[in-house]
Homo-oligomer: A and B are copies of this chain.
């Protein structure tokens, strides 16, 4: 029976039991972390052999003869472009492989919009205001970039098939201050949904008041299936934009941060020829070039799309039990309380959790006091402001299974407590 249907007396009994359980957790001196989308130790071990792919006696030339030890090939070596293009469903010749961070490439592209504008359009810093569409729940680091530039962020609900496209179309068409949208189109952060073909088509073809509107297509989890048999695969935004006559509307991003090593991976951007030409022009001012030895290391380790698939299957084997555990414990602990719902992703790094309105901050605080660190409540919304105070991002990948189980016990207990507190306040 759901909490809402229980009598005050029964609710008090349950709360008393929960307070005891919670006190017991607090006394254990736990230090567990489900805050960030970090691979576990076990996952990182999978990529250690990559470190032997380049050594002092290796040939360090790229296939076109570029010496990867010296300056040159600012936009990446050919074979790294081919690898990343394969991951991104794109062509090597309009892919650039840059540093270690796709977030940094996105940051630089928003910065470029601010200071230079795209392809001759006015720099955004010269406009009275700039706005951005932010599907929610979404990725806090995306929102932090647009926030840092004072860009007004407009939340739009993310459903099972993508953002509410009626809303997105209305907003994009109505105001030329709206310059972009953040998208994690496959295994979205945090809800795990994948945009359906119709959503991709509508994003590519919708009328935009701003000529320089850009879709920031952060395909961070494009090869991060939990189960190959249920694998999703988002439609190609490049093809959709071309078909719709808006070939310059998108920037695609991907990295190997959660394929090999976070921080020591390689990152790439793919875009139309015109956009890529502009990007290269700017980057040639910004740097002499990126780490080609690390690009070479990655290519020798991952080889190609099929090598990536094999490697990601090993990640999936480690991650699947963790996601299953989270699902089972949420279902067993909260399934009949009527207090919560959560996503059941088939890929990516997160579970999106929705508690009763007004309980997310309290739940995260209760968990923190019991030694379990969650992503901050509200982080999945622009300016960390979830107006319903309901959404929490669960990141189950880092802790070992036993720690994850312990952390989820604490979390479930905290959700129940916060829910009962909220119900009592309502009565």
Contacts and interface: CB of A to CB of B under 8 A. Distances in A.
Given A38-B71, A71-B36, A288-B101, A264 B115 contact: no
A286 interface: yes
A263 B292 contact: yes
A58 B55 CA distance: 13
A294 interface: yes
Contacts of A290: 100-101, 263
A294 B294 CA distance: 9
Contacts of A49: 56
Contact of A263 (B47, B101, B123, B288): B288
A68 interface: yes
Given A99-B99, A264-B294, A291-B100, A286 B107 contact: yes
Interface string A328-351: 000000000000000000000000
A230 interface: no
A165 to B, nearest CB: 29
B262 A70 contact: yes
A54 B51 contact: yes
A68 B291 contact: no
Nearest to A292: B263
Interface stretch (A80-88, A141-149, A189-197, A317-325): A141-149
A67 B41 CA distance: 9
Contact of A289 (B51, B263, B294): B263
A257 B57 CA distance: 21
9 tightest CB-CB pairs across the interface, nearest first? A48-B56, A264-B293, A104-B287, A101-B287, A71-B262, A44-B69, A107-B286, A148-B285, A264-B291
5 contacts: A36-B71, A103-B287, A125-B126, A148-B285, A262-B289
